[in-house]
Amino acid sequence: MTLSAAAGYELPLLLFGGFRAIIDELHGELARRGHQDMRPAHGFAMQAIGFRGATASEVGRRLGISKQAAGKTIERLEALGYARRAGDSADRRRKLTRLTPRGVEALALSAEIFDGIRDRWARTLGDDRVADLEASLRTMVPGETFRLDVPGWFGAS
Amino acid sequence: MTLSAAAGYELPLLLFGGFRAIIDELHGELARRGHQDMRPAHGFAMQAIGFRGATASEVGRRLGISKQAAGKTIERLEALGYARRAGDSADRRRKLTRLTPRGVEALALSAEIFDGIRDRWARTLGDDRVADLEASLRTMVPGETFRLDVPGWFGAS
DNA sequence: TCGTTAAAGACAACTTGGTTGTCTAAACAG
DNA sequence: CTGTTTAGACAACCAAGTTGTCTTTAACGA
Question: What pLDDT, in 10s, does the model give residues A137-147?
Answer: 999 987 666 67
All protein residues with a CB under 7 A from any atom of strand C = A 39, 41, 64-66, 68-70, 72-73, 76, 90-93, 148-152, 156; B 55-58, 67-68, 71, 85, 93-96, 151, 155-157
Task: Please say if the pLDDT value at position A2 is more than 70.
Answer: no
Instruction: Let me know how long chain A is.
Output: 157
What's the whole-model pTM score? Answer: 0.90
Half-sphere exposure of B49 (CA within 13 A, CB side): 30
Residues A11-32: tens digit of each pLDDT = 999 999 999 899 989 999 999 9
The strand pairing partners of A124, in sequence order, are none
Three-state DSSP state, A50: coil
**Nearest CB partner across the interface for A140, out of B76, B125, B157:** B125
DSSP-assigned letter for residue A64: T
Kindly tell me if the per-residue pLDDT of B99 is higher than 70: yes
With the C-alpha atoms ordered A139, B30, B36, B23, is the resulting torsion angle positive or negative? negative
Stretch A130-143: mean pLDDT = 91
- Binary contact (A14, B116; C-beta < 8 A): no
d(CA A122, CA A116): 10
DSSP B81: T
Please state, in angstroms and rounded to a whole number, the distance separating the CA atoms of residues A26 and A116.
Answer: 9
Mean pLDDT of A43-56: 92
pLDDT > 90? residue B154: no
B79 touches chain A (CB under 8 A): no
What is the predicted pLDDT for the residue at B4? 47
pLDDT band at A41 (very low <50, low <70, confident <90, very high): confident
